[in-house]
Amino acid sequence: MVSTESILAFAAMSLLVIAIPGPSVLFVIGRALAHGRRTALATVLGNQTGSYLLVTAVAWGLGAVVESSMAAFTAVKLAGAAYLVYLGVQAFRHRKEMRAADLAAPAGERRGDLRTVLDGVVVGVTNPKGFVFFAAMLPQFVNHSAGHVPLQMMVLGLLPVAIGLITDTLWGLGASAARSWFARSDRRMSMVGGVGGFAMIGLGVTVAATGPAD
């Protein structure tokens, strides 16, 4: 199976990559600003679930197909970008409906948690850089002579997912804390909701303009 040295090396490399804010961090921050802490945490859970689905796809060969096929890469990239823009537009459209009183609303009156998690899954699983990263890195840290290569990749894939779960949660909590301060004023609340929406739209446009070698 996977050696301790490989686990530690892959964990260190994953930490270095994840520590640099990227699309998932910006997505979580945008959701936190637009909808608050509960939505941010549900988004983190969904996003990392989507990331692990990418790990599973890479482990069983699909990641290499997407990485090597420009058409497949472009399709995945544009699907993720379009969904990000859609979420951003929705957040911006409903920014004036956000009021300080909404933070104290019962859970049933807030955005559905399951829907929020599924939004995160869609964005996570359509992240083309995730495919490329896992397809390029995971094979380098497995012991091919030991067999069970897909299982080794799935075990290793738990490391960046766990690291991302922790770091993205911290980003989400920080952004939602800032949102709570803005929530003292309905006008500021509307403004921060709009900023969150624009952040997601901008992220979607950036993802759409990103090439496989970027």
Q: How many Å apart are CA 56 and CA 22, to the nearest integer? A: 21
Structure-derived torsion over alpha carbons of residues 37, 41, 44, 49, reported in degrees to the nearest 10: -150
Q: What is the pLDDT of residue 45?
A: 95
Q: What is the pLDDT of residue 102?
A: 46
Length of the chain: 214
Q: What is the pLDDT of residue 100?
A: 45
Q: What is the pLDDT of residues 142-154, one digit of tens each?
A: 887 777 888 888 9
Closest C-alpha to 196, from 63, 8, 31: 31
> Does the predicted TM-score (pTM) go above 0.75?
no
**How distant, in Å, are the alpha carbons of 44, 85, 186 from that of 113?**
12, 20, 24
**Alpha helix positions (H), 36-148:** 37-59, 62-68, 70-93, 113-125, 128-137
Q: Is-contact 163 17, C-beta < 8 A?
A: no
Q: What is the pLDDT of residues 114-173, one digit of tens each?
A: 888 998 898 888 876 677 678 777 877 888 777 788 888 899 999 999 999 999 999 899
User: pLDDT means per 10 residues in the chain (214 residues)?
Assistant: 81 77 77 85 94 90 63 70 75 59 42 84 80 75 79 91 93 85 64 68 73 51
